[in-house]
């Protein structure tokens, strides 16, 4: 069972991001304790500011770790017990800690997401424009896609690969697209790798359209 319920990232990947924050917090604390740094009028304020920025993450990560540790200890104590027995105080305590773990993990996930630590977990406006364009126009390759939506070819490649990794797009070789609608360009471009919308991508766009329709209906009421 997933702790963070990430859209694309696993619990292990999210914990890795959290661990890097803890490592940075500890390094910053050590630097601030250095006699040579704490008297430096330039470095001291910068490090103090960074430590202050990292503190909410650090505190929340440690709180979650503490809850998870207590939950694991309770689980060991209750080995072989009926976990649905609400007359058992230890079972009730276990359920309480499970709830605390879930809510704290959700809080940490949102904090990381809102502050750019989990960018893979959402699609920005350009990502959505790419998906909608390919869904409408059919398979496309990086250079041509960049021209159509107004980004350079390198950004186009990076975004296509990111959407591919998420399962929202899939690759197809130009030689496999015999019925492609731009046949006049076929000789030039048949060796390119094209990207087309995947089944998951179509479901995702359909879900977004339905959400938008519901929002419109609410606005008209």
- pLDDT at position 218 is 76
Full-model pTM: 0.76
Mean pLDDT of 205-215: 90
Give the burial class of 207: count Cβ atoms within 10 A of its Cβ; 0-12 exposed, 13-18 middle, 19 or more buried.
exposed
Partner residues linked to 194 by β-bridges: 172
pLDDT, position 186:
44
11-121 CATH: 1.20.58
Q: Assess whether pLDDT exceeds 80 at residue 164.
A: yes
Please tell me which residue, 21 or 78, carries the higher pLDDT value: 21
The pLDDT assigned to 193 comes to 84
pLDDT at residue 188 greater than cutoff 50: no
pLDDT for 184 equals 47
User: Taking 60 as the threshold, does the pLDDT of residue 73 lie above it?
Assistant: yes
Please choose, from the candidates 155, 147, 137, 110, the residue with its C-alpha nearest in 3D space to the C-alpha of residue 197: 137
**CATH code of the domain made up of 125-220:** 1.10.10.10
CATH 1.10.10.10: which residues of the chain? Answer: 125-220
Higher pLDDT, 76 or 39: 76
pLDDT (0 to 100) of residue 190: 57
Average pLDDT, the chain: 88
**Boundaries of CATH 1.20.58 in the chain?**
11-121
């Amino acid at each position: 069972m997933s702790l963070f319920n990430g859209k694309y990232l696993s619990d292990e990947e999210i914990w890795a991001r959290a661990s890097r924050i803890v490592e940075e917090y500890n390094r910053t604390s050590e630097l601030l304790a250095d006699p040579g740094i704490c008297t430096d009028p330039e470095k001291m304020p910068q490090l103090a500011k960074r430590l202050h920025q990292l503190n909410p993450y650090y505190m929340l990560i440690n709180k979650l770790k503490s809850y998870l540790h207590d939950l694991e200890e309770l689980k060991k104590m209750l080995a072989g017990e009926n976990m649905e027995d609400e007359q058992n105080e230890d079972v009730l305590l276990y359920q309480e800690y499970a709830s605390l773990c879930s809510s704290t993990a959700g809080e940490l996930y949102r904090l990381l997401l809102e502050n750019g630590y989990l960018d893979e977990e959402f699609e920005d406006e350009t990502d959505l424009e790419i998906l909608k364009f390919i869904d409408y126009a059919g398979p496309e390759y990086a250079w041509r896609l960049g021209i159509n939506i107004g980004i350079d070819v390198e950004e186009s490649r990076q975004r296509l690969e990111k959407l591919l990794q998420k399962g929202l797009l899939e690759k197809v070789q130009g030689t496999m697209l015999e019925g492609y609608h731009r046949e006049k360009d076929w000789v030039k471009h048949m060796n390119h790798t094209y990207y087309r919308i995947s089944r998951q991508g179509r479901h995702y766009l359909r879900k977004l359209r339905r959400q938008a329709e519901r929002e419109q209906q609410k606005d008209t009421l």
